Amino acid sequence: MPDDSPTFRRTRQREAIYAALGQAERPLSFEELLERSRQHYPRLGERTVFRNVREMLDEHSLVRVYLPGQPARYELPTFNHCPHFICRKCNNVFVLPEETQDILPEYAAKIPPAFIPEGEEVIIYGYCLECPKD
Protein backbone atom coordinates (compact mmCIF):
# COMPACT_ATOMS: atom_id res chain seq x y z
CA MET A 1 0.00 0.00 0.00
CA PRO A 2 1.34 3.44 -0.82
CA ASP A 3 2.48 4.99 2.41
CA ASP A 4 2.92 8.50 3.77
CA SER A 5 0.79 9.99 1.00
CA PRO A 6 -2.07 12.26 1.99
CA THR A 7 -4.08 11.03 -1.04
CA PHE A 8 -4.39 7.47 0.25
CA ARG A 9 -6.63 6.66 3.16
CA ARG A 10 -5.49 3.93 5.53
CA THR A 11 -8.29 1.89 7.02
CA ARG A 12 -8.55 -1.70 8.20
CA GLN A 13 -10.79 -2.41 5.24
CA ARG A 14 -8.26 -1.06 2.75
CA GLU A 15 -5.42 -2.85 4.47
CA ALA A 16 -7.40 -6.09 4.00
CA ILE A 17 -7.90 -5.34 0.30
CA TYR A 18 -4.20 -4.53 -0.21
CA ALA A 19 -3.19 -7.67 1.71
CA ALA A 20 -5.50 -9.82 -0.43
CA LEU A 21 -4.06 -8.40 -3.65
CA GLY A 22 -0.48 -8.60 -2.44
CA GLN A 23 -0.78 -12.23 -1.42
CA ALA A 24 -2.67 -13.28 -4.55
CA GLU A 25 0.19 -12.40 -6.91
CA ARG A 26 -2.36 -12.30 -9.74
CA PRO A 27 -5.30 -10.13 -10.77
CA LEU A 28 -8.48 -10.94 -8.84
CA SER A 29 -12.13 -10.71 -9.85
CA PHE A 30 -14.34 -8.72 -7.50
CA GLU A 31 -15.69 -11.94 -5.96
CA GLU A 32 -12.18 -13.27 -5.37
CA LEU A 33 -11.09 -9.94 -3.93
CA LEU A 34 -14.04 -9.89 -1.54
CA GLU A 35 -13.45 -13.48 -0.40
CA ARG A 36 -9.70 -13.02 0.11
CA SER A 37 -10.13 -9.64 1.83
CA ARG A 38 -12.49 -11.25 4.32
CA GLN A 39 -9.68 -13.57 5.36
CA HIS A 40 -7.96 -10.46 6.74
CA TYR A 41 -11.06 -8.64 7.97
CA PRO A 42 -13.98 -11.10 8.36
CA ARG A 43 -16.72 -8.48 8.82
CA LEU A 44 -15.90 -6.78 5.53
CA GLY A 45 -19.07 -6.07 3.55
CA GLU A 46 -19.56 -6.26 -0.20
CA ARG A 47 -20.61 -2.60 -0.46
CA THR A 48 -17.55 -1.51 1.52
CA VAL A 49 -15.22 -3.38 -0.82
CA PHE A 50 -17.06 -2.02 -3.86
CA ARG A 51 -16.80 1.57 -2.56
CA ASN A 52 -13.12 1.16 -1.69
CA VAL A 53 -12.30 -0.40 -5.06
CA ARG A 54 -13.97 2.55 -6.81
CA GLU A 55 -12.04 5.06 -4.69
CA MET A 56 -8.76 3.18 -5.09
CA LEU A 57 -9.23 3.17 -8.88
CA ASP A 58 -9.85 6.92 -8.82
CA GLU A 59 -6.68 7.55 -6.84
CA HIS A 60 -4.66 5.10 -9.00
CA SER A 61 -3.71 2.83 -6.11
CA LEU A 62 -5.52 -0.02 -7.88
CA VAL A 63 -5.67 -1.04 -11.55
CA ARG A 64 -8.64 -2.61 -13.35
CA VAL A 65 -7.59 -5.25 -15.89
CA TYR A 66 -9.89 -5.93 -18.83
CA LEU A 67 -9.22 -9.16 -20.70
CA PRO A 68 -11.36 -10.65 -23.50
CA GLY A 69 -14.04 -13.01 -22.23
CA GLN A 70 -13.15 -12.32 -18.59
CA PRO A 71 -14.80 -10.34 -15.82
CA ALA A 72 -12.98 -7.20 -14.78
CA ARG A 73 -10.07 -8.01 -12.49
CA TYR A 74 -8.03 -5.89 -10.12
CA GLU A 75 -4.33 -5.72 -9.34
CA LEU A 76 -1.86 -3.42 -7.66
CA PRO A 77 -0.20 -0.96 -10.04
CA THR A 78 3.32 -1.62 -11.26
CA PHE A 79 5.61 0.18 -13.64
CA ASN A 80 6.30 -3.05 -15.52
CA HIS A 81 4.66 -4.06 -18.77
CA CYS A 82 4.08 -7.76 -18.08
CA PRO A 83 1.87 -10.12 -20.08
CA HIS A 84 -1.10 -11.92 -18.58
CA PHE A 85 -1.65 -15.67 -18.82
CA ILE A 86 -5.23 -17.02 -18.90
CA CYS A 87 -5.83 -20.67 -18.08
CA ARG A 88 -8.30 -22.13 -20.57
CA LYS A 89 -9.65 -24.58 -17.98
CA CYS A 90 -10.05 -22.68 -14.69
CA ASN A 91 -10.12 -19.17 -16.24
CA ASN A 92 -7.69 -17.84 -13.65
CA VAL A 93 -5.49 -14.98 -14.79
CA PHE A 94 -1.83 -14.75 -13.86
CA VAL A 95 0.82 -12.08 -14.40
CA LEU A 96 3.95 -13.46 -16.01
CA PRO A 97 7.22 -12.21 -14.51
CA GLU A 98 9.05 -11.21 -17.68
CA GLU A 99 8.46 -7.71 -18.93
CA THR A 100 7.44 -7.27 -22.57
CA GLN A 101 8.36 -4.43 -24.87
CA ASP A 102 5.88 -1.56 -25.13
CA ILE A 103 4.79 -1.77 -28.78
CA LEU A 104 2.43 1.21 -28.82
CA PRO A 105 5.12 3.78 -29.70
CA GLU A 106 6.27 1.58 -32.57
CA TYR A 107 2.75 1.36 -33.99
CA ALA A 108 1.56 4.90 -33.18
CA ALA A 109 2.16 6.16 -36.73
CA LYS A 110 0.26 3.17 -38.18
CA ILE A 111 -2.89 3.67 -36.10
CA PRO A 112 -5.63 5.43 -38.09
CA PRO A 113 -6.40 8.95 -36.85
CA ALA A 114 -9.97 7.91 -35.97
CA PHE A 115 -8.61 5.67 -33.20
CA ILE A 116 -7.36 6.88 -29.84
CA PRO A 117 -5.22 4.15 -28.23
CA GLU A 118 -5.14 3.96 -24.46
CA GLY A 119 -2.85 1.01 -23.98
CA GLU A 120 -2.02 -2.50 -24.99
CA GLU A 121 -2.07 -5.93 -23.45
CA VAL A 122 -0.16 -9.10 -24.24
CA ILE A 123 -2.26 -12.16 -23.41
CA ILE A 124 -1.03 -15.75 -23.46
CA TYR A 125 -3.51 -18.63 -23.26
CA GLY A 126 -2.85 -22.14 -22.05
CA TYR A 127 -3.17 -24.30 -18.95
CA CYS A 128 -1.89 -23.53 -15.46
CA LEU A 129 -0.05 -26.11 -13.38
CA GLU A 130 -3.21 -27.05 -11.49
CA CYS A 131 -5.21 -27.65 -14.69
CA PRO A 132 -3.37 -30.07 -16.95
CA LYS A 133 -4.74 -30.30 -20.47
CA ASP A 134 -7.09 -33.28 -20.82
Annotated binding-site residue? 131: yes
CA-based nearest residue to 54, from 65, 40, 44, 64: 64
Distance CA 67, CA 74 (A): 11
The full DSSP string for 48-116 is HHHHHHHHHHHTTSSEEE--TTS--EEE---S----EEEETTT--EEE-SS-----HHHHGGGS-TT--
Cα first-last separation, the chain: 40
Annotated binding-site residue? 40: no
Q: Are 127 and 88 in contact (CB under 8 A)?
A: yes
Annotated binding-site residue? 128: yes
- Residue ranges at the known binding site for Fe cation: 81
- Residue ranges at the known binding site: 81, 87, 90, 128, 131
- Residue ranges at the known binding site for Zn(2+): 87, 90, 128, 131
